[in-house]
Amino acid sequence: VFSIKSYSALNLYSCSLKNEDLKEMLESNKESLKLEAMKRIVGLIAKGKNASELFPAVVKNVASKNIELKKLVYVYLVRYAEEQQDLALLSISTFQRALKDPNQLIRASALRVLSSIRVPIIVPIMMLAIKEAATDLSPYVRKTAAHAIQKLYSLDPEQKEHLIEVIDKLLKDKSTLVAGSVVMAFEEVCPDRIDLIHKNYRKLCNLLVDVEEWGQVVIITMLTRYARTQFLSPWREDALFDENSEKAFYDSDVEKEKADSKPYMMDPDHRLLLRNTKPLLQSRNTAVVMAVAQLYWHLAPKQEVSIVTKSLVRLLRSHREVQYIVLQNIATMSIQRKGMFEPFLKSFYVRSTDATHIKTLKLEILTNLATEANISTILREFQTYVKSQDKQFAATTIQAIGRCATNISEITDTCLNGLVLLLSNRDETVVAECVVVIKKLLQTQPSQHSDIIKHMAKLLDNITVPMARASILWLIGEYCERVPKIAPDVLRKVAKSFTSEEDIVKLQTLNLAAKLYLTNSKQTKLLTQYILNLGKYDQNYDIRDRTRFLRQLIVPNEKSGALSKYAKRILLASKPAPVLESAFKDRDRFQLGTLSHTLNAKASGYLELSDWPTVAPDQSVRNVEVMEPQSLERQPSTRGSDLFAYHLLVLLCSDSDDAKEKKRPKPKLDSVSSHSKASSSSDNTASSGSESEEDTDSDSEPEQKKKKKLRTALCEFQAAPSIRVSSPVFVPPKSHELLHRMSGKGLAVSYHFPRQPCAYSHRMVSVQLTLTNGRDQPLEDICVGEAGPPGIAIHRFATIERLQPEASITVSMGIDFNDSTQAANFQLCTKTDQFSVSIQPAVGELLMPVTMTEQDFLKEQGQLTGMNESSVTITIAPDSMSSQPVGRKVVSVANMGVVPSSQNSIHRFAAKTVSSGSLVLSSVVLQEASTAKLVVNTEKTVLGSVLLRELKTALSQG
Amino acid sequence: MIHSLFLVNSSGDIFLEKHWKSVVSRSVCDYFFEAQERASEPENVPPVIPTPHHYLISVLRHRIYFVAVIQSEVPPLFVIEFLHRVVDTFQDYFGVCTEAAIKDNVVVVYELLEEMLDNGFPLATESNILKELIKPPTILRTVVNTITGSTNVGEQLPTGQLSVVPWRRTGVKYTNNEAYFDVVEEIDAIIDKSGSTITAEIQGVIDACVKLSGMPDLTLSFMNPRLLDDVSFHPCVRFKRWEAERILSFIPPDGNFRLLSYHVSSQNLVAIPVYVKHNITFREGSSQGRFELTLGPKQTMGKAVESVLVSSQLPRGVLNVNLNPSQGTYTFDPVTKLLSWDVGKINPQKLPSLKGSMSLQAGASKPDENPTINIQFKIQQMAISGLKVNRLDMYGEKYKPFKGIKYMTKAGKFQVRT
């Protein structure tokens, strides 16, 4: 019933329905009902409603087959596990099982959920899972492991040491998928362990372009910190923060060079970082651009920093919030380096539609950028702003004008006149702000401006803003000797309104009275006393205090001490002019782009940027001894182009066998050497392919070309476009006896299939013979004699002239078995004897592994049906139910390549017969109750059925 | 990194919450509401707000605040960029990003948020990957799902995440293979009272809609790439080739995406396609003001200027207006004092004008500033900078795709001071 109704309709009355219904639905055996229930529960969670009582009913569905249901259960579990710890434990075993799943995505998602369950009791399980996942073959699982590290650390900080070990291991990872996540874990768990970075520094720099954008931000931020501890300052000390005047900059350079005979040489690693981050300025991600900009700001030589300007200005086109952060950072930068942003002055012009905080920041930057050359342009622009309807903004503009006026002395008069004109403005906030700014300006050069002071005195009648009134009173008091006629009159006016004034105005009235009393007591004695009396009984104790103090100071009586003698000097001392500074003056103590910089306060978890070291630290710590050749994913130049590498990568990832390092050596090394050859050739095609696109006919496709080249690189195997011969996944070390020591009269021979392309002919299987002389005298002239049967061709090994006693020698030969398991018979001859021997190949050795996509596999399989398909349902050994054993067993029996599979229960393998190059496909579909369906598709039906039999035997064994 | 996310609507209700680590009580949003109250306009809420234990970083889009809760130092742009990506994803999935759409699709929203962040760190933000994981809801699918009980969650696990082409899903198939590119340029300008240009810049983007099967490898070249001064790319573009040859070479994501954003070098003089003649006056002591506005085309290379919309924030003192448009319609909101005039197409023979009077509050003094005029317009089939695409080639697949390129010029932030 429920399933028919749409979810949103249900949502409406979900509140009225009791959770009981949900419980029932969850316990029903209809999947759709369960799903409906989970959807409603997620709706409750999203609204912030409590759904924790459903925990037991929900947790039962954790192993559901329905992916969406399962995902929703995960959402629920992660949300409530902390509150329902005991019940949450019920789900753990499901995840533990999934951690062993053949499908990497399932392993990853199991780890992701397991590590998100914040239940302290499972810490050891999590630790184990993380350690295992960190060595997983799939980079995606390793990435998830890196994320899990932070989760475990926040759950149990005691695990720190163990986690650092895992971080150390993952930092060595060469996958671009992992890099960002592990650096994030590093920053969170052990940001002080700079030593872990040394060996990985160059790799991180080189990987950077190919890492996903979020990882880039984290890595760049970390590397900025790293570089500040490891490299010498590229900044000349005496030019450190002052290059507003270019001349001084170069002059000091010359001096510096004279003084310091050793010129500064930038560490190549330092240069590497700068070079590799520069392209990221073109990222579409604003956070990446900002990260690079701050890196250049903190690390680059001064003359290089300006390359970030254009990109930062570009970000101003982005959303309001992005503008806000970027403008803040530009404000800090522009204080120290006007030159960087001066050409972009107009980008900071204010639009009437900007938000207030954006306007304020733009104004700040325009003020910082003001120079003698551009001030007239800026002032003209400011005049427009002053008239803005946003009066608060107009007031801020007036402050900005004041700052320009003090900074550039040439324009002080112009500004002052302009501001005086504004005093007649109708808006009070504007006028008040003007008064305050004029007061500050006049303080710098009071001598010439008694007119302005008179003007201001007149304004007092109209202005009501307390700050402005107070400023006028202070101004008149301070310069009362310049306006001797007006000052007493002003005092008279404020005396009248004293009781109704704001506190700040009252204080300045007292101040004015005291000053006038000292300079002009004849006219103001009575007024002052009147005001002092009013102040004495004021409600505010500050005013009462001030009154008492001033009275003692200025009115001489017998009790007054020595101070009153100096009253005039105390009150009328010349005062230094206030300095009008940018609010961003000291922001540069924080690393740019950080939250702390935005807040202008240290945020929790902020990591200080250290000063440059005075002595260069050891550069060799970053040397990496052995460069492993298998850096497949890492090709910054051909970003996104290298599909070939991708396929190999998949092959390696799904290589089910060598989860353990120690099993790797042999097959790995082989595959690696051919990979590096192939990848370098594909590298060429990636770059040359693009060039050749123009000079050849237009249908030619780089992708195919790449493959063509690749094929030539790999012994020219015939292959369909999307099917490529790959290196063996696994080479069984097992060798077979060819000739026993007893029957060979002391000569013992064993053979082994190295699963390598045969050097003599591509139709031949290569076989390695190991001959050992068990006699006490040397054997001479060992060679291959007659061979048969007729269909089988043999490439003989070169005659061994002499084999010393107890010595052994390995030779290789090629045999074309003609795709049959018929034995190859031949004679082994020595100088004296002849022995008939035969090599019977296992069917699996007649194959060459190939790699192809899943789609191609299915397509090919579709064409090889009917007669060409043989299948059998087998009972599989219980331990083979996961992918690792299945894959291992198949590849140990047959030399096949692993085809990536999107389903975890299906394993696919592909190969070609060596002799005729026919395709051989095999798939294992795991079913319930430890059965599996085994299918082999090939044109070579005989070979197919033999292979089927062998695989069956192998898979059913425990 | 990102601890929790709260979605707040314009009336200040939290209508969705999601936590990636321990649950943070929604009372943390009280600090946000305080800031919201202090701000005069919705846009004036500061994007970063510190509270005693957390930091709130928010973005405002479609009148919804996306408030992220942060506990420790993180680059603020990182969070802001991510939140915008979330909004873009919602828009992509639901067509619109409104409170109603989010509430209707709360399960999909939750599934998306779950995939986009792991432990507060971005995991999958590429739309191609997400769409493989969670299929966007369509009316048809909703109906089918409710009847058959099938789901929106992809049955197959995506492979894109694992590849070196993470932005493109695999196994793409179309019967009609087509690739469309829109070159859209915006003019940002401030024009002063006398009609002279104070500042003018051209910013452009190339938006693509690519529906091609398989793994196509595209190259796009320009006739005059030197025009492009500063560029930013979709991650699929090979930077090295751009640097060396000024060619865009890329394996495109499937569907819609922004290939390139650019800025046209400032040396080139920007052609301003419209001019405004205005006469807006207030007289001291009078309760009437005059309002006259005439628009005309200029430097349009013979193309028509369309979809013209003029808006202006009149001074507070204006009570009402009585205007007469020669074409189009105008509206005036007496509360917000916003005048907007929907002009439509400019006919060069008969220039559109808006003339009449404004009535002012009696006794109020003359406003000391004239209003700024914002203009929007569109010009089809022209990129004002003169940028031209030379050719588009496809490699890697055999079929012949249908290719199309469209040019358009729009007004960005185009203001006229009066």
Q: Which domains does chain B have, with CATH numbers?
A: 2-148 (3.30.450.60), 178-270+384-416 (2.60.40.1170), 274-380 (2.60.40.1170)
Least confidently predicted of A408-417, A421-430, B225-234, B312-321: A421-430
Of A675 and A312, more confident = A312
User: Which residues on adjacent β-strands are paired with residue A98?
Assistant: none
Contact B49, B8 (CB under 8 A): no
- Please check the confidence at residue A620 and state whether its pLDDT lies above 50: yes
pLDDT of A700 strictly over 50: no
A287 band by pLDDT with thresholds 50, 70 and 90: very high
Test A46 with B190 for CB contact under 8 angstroms: no
**pLDDT 10s digits, A107-145:** 888 899 899 888 888 899 999 999 999 998 888 899 999
- pLDDT computed for residue B69 by the predictor: 95
Contacts of B413 in chain A (CB under 8 A): 351, 353
Q: Where are the alpha helices (DSSP H) in A425-465?
A: 428-444, 450-459
Q: Tokens 């004015």 belong to which residue?
A: A512
> What residues of B are in contact with residue A30 (Cβ under 8 Å)?
149
Q: Is the dihedral of CA B164, B166, B167, B171 positive or negative?
A: positive
Peptide linkage before B158 cis (omega within 30 of 0): no
Q: Can you give the pLDDT at residue A651?
A: 38
**DSSP code, position A52:** G
Inter-chain touch A282–B14, beta carbons under 8 Å? no
Tokens of A558: 């017998």
- Render pLDDT for B145-202 as a digit per residue (tens, 0 to 9): 555 555 555 555 555 455 667 788 777 888 999 999 999 999 999 998 888 888 888 9
- Per-residue pLDDT of A306-347, as tens digits, reads 999 999 998 998 899 999 999 999 999 999 888 899 988 988
pLDDT in tens, A822-837: 888 888 888 888 888 8
Q: For strand A906-913 and strand A897-899, is the pairing parallel, antiparallel, or unpaired?
A: antiparallel
Top pLDDT among A260 and A321 is at A321
Residues in A touching B61 (Cβ below 8 Å): 319
Mean pLDDT confidence for A231-254: 54
Is residue A71 helix, strand or coil? helix
| Interface contact flag, B164 A284, Cβ < 8 Å | no
The secondary structure of B5-58, three-state, reads EEEECCCCCEEEEEECCCCCCHHHHHHHHHHHHHCCCHHHCCCEEECCCCEEEE
Facing A637 at nearest CB: one of B156, B231, B240: B240
Cα B255 to Cα B211: distance, rounded to the nearest angstrom: 6
Q: Between residues B403 and A804, which one has the greater pLDDT? A: B403
The rounded distance, in Å, linking the Cα atoms of A804 and A797 is 18
pLDDT band, residue B133 (cuts 50/70/90) = confident
Contacts of B269 in chain A (CB under 8 A): none
For the segment A219-240, the average pLDDT, to the nearest whole number, is 82
Within a 10 A sphere around the Cβ of A102, how many other Cβ atoms?
Answer: 22
Contacts with B58 from chain A: Cβ below 8 Å: 321
Q: How confident is the model at residue A648 (pLDDT cuts 50, 70, 90)?
A: very low
Q: Which of A149, A353, A641 to mutate to test the interface with B (most CBs of B within 10 A)?
A: A641
Under an 8 A CB cutoff, do B239 and A599 touch? no
Q: Which of B43, B163, B261 sits opposite A646 (nearest CB)?
A: B163
Mean pLDDT along residues B54-62: 94
Contact residues, chain B, for A434 at CB < 8 Å:
none
Tally A–B CB contacts below 8 A: 304
- Nearest chain A CA: its distance from B106 CA (Å): 6
Of the segments A155-169, A878-892, B266-280, which one has the largest average pLDDT value?
A155-169
- What ipTM was estimated for this complex? 0.91
Q: Give the pLDDT confidence score for residue A34 in this predicted structure.
A: 87
In a mutagenesis test of the B interface, which of A64, A138, A221, A595 is the best target, namely the one with the most B β-carbons within 10 Å?
Answer: A595
Q: State the Cα–Cα distance between residues A800 and A795, nearest whole angstrom.
A: 15
Residues 6+ apart with CB under 8 A from A393: A350, A356, A359, A360, A363, A385
The β-bridge relationship of strands B178-191 and B402-417 is parallel
Task: Say yes or no to pLDDT of A673 above 80.
Answer: no
Nearest Cα of chain B lies from the Cα of A284 at a distance, in angstroms, of 5
pLDDT at residue number A152: 93
CB contact under 8 A, A351 and B415: yes
Q: Among residues B124, B153, B75, which one has the least CA distance to residue A143?
A: B124
| DSSP H or E run through A488 | helix A486-497
Q: Do B165 and A643 touch (CB under 8 A)?
A: yes
Q: Do the chains contact at A284 and B234, CB–CB below 8 Å?
A: yes
% of chain A residues with pLDDT over 90: 20
**Taking a C-beta distance cutoff of 8 angstroms, is the pair A495, A531 a contact?**
yes
Say if CB A146 and CB A114 are below 8 A apart: no
The pLDDT of residue B149 is: 52
Residues of B in contact with A211 (CB under 8 A): none
Q: What are residue B159's DSSP bridge partners?
A: none
CA distance B213 to chain A (A): 13
Whether residue A670 is predicted with pLDDT greater than 60 in this model: the reply is no
Is 50 exceeded by the pLDDT of residue A718?
no
CB A325 to CB B164 under 8 A?
A: no
Q: How far is CA A145 from CA A97, A183, A220, A894, B55, in A?
A: 16, 12, 21, 33, 27
pLDDT at B250: 93
Looking at every residue in chain A, the average pLDDT score rounds to: 79
A71–B47 C-beta distance less than 8 A: no
Q: Do A321 and B119 touch (CB under 8 A)?
A: no
Residues in A touching B415 (Cβ below 8 Å): 351-353
Q: Do B17 and A177 touch (CB under 8 A)?
A: no
pLDDT given at position A693: 39
Q: Is the pLDDT of residue A293 over 70?
A: yes
CB–CB of A321 and B59 under 8 A?
Answer: yes
Q: Is the per-residue pLDDT at A692 higher than 80?
A: no
Mean pLDDT of chain B: 87
Condensed to tens digits (0 to 9), the pLDDT of residues B65-77 reads: 999 999 999 999 9
Q: Report chain A residues whose CB lies below 8 A from the CB of B1.
A: 184
Chain B residues with CB inside 8 Å of A115's CB? 119
Mutate to test the interface with A, among B72, B73, B310, B340 (most CBs of A within 10 A): B73
pLDDT digits (tens, 9 = 90+) for A469-489: 888 888 888 888 888 888 888
Contact A593, A575 (CB under 8 A): no
* DSSP-derived 3-state class of residue A501: coil
Q: Which of B54, B72, B81, B238 to mutate: most A Cβ within 10 Å?
A: B81
- CB of A259 closer than 8 Å to CB of A278: no
Q: How far is B278 from chain A (nearest CA, A)?
A: 17
Q: Say whether pLDDT at B14 is over 60.
A: yes
Beta-carbon separation of A389 and B81 below 8 A: no
**What was the pLDDT predicted at A717?**
37
Q: Tell me how far apart the alpha carbons of residues A195 and A63 are, in angstroms, rounded to a whole number.
A: 43
Across the beta sheet with B2-8, the strand order is B14-19, B2-8, B64-70, B55-61, B48-50
Please tell me the least confidently modeled range out of A292-306, A602-616, A880-894. Answer: A880-894
**Cross-chain residue pair A46–B230, CB shorter than 8 Å:** no
Closest Cα in chain A, distance from residue B270 (Å): 14
CA distance B157 to chain A (A): 6
CA closest to B257 among chain A residues: A284
- In the block, tokens 């030399």 appear at A895
The C-alpha atoms of residue A79 and residue B20 are separated, in whole angstroms, by 8
Please, which pLDDT band fits residue A447 given cuts at 50, 70 and 90?
low
State the nearest Cα–Cα gap between A200 and chain B, in angstroms.
21
Query: Where is average pLDDT lowest: A152-161, A653-662, A857-866, B102-111?
Result: A653-662
User: CA nearest A594 in B: which residue?
Assistant: B75
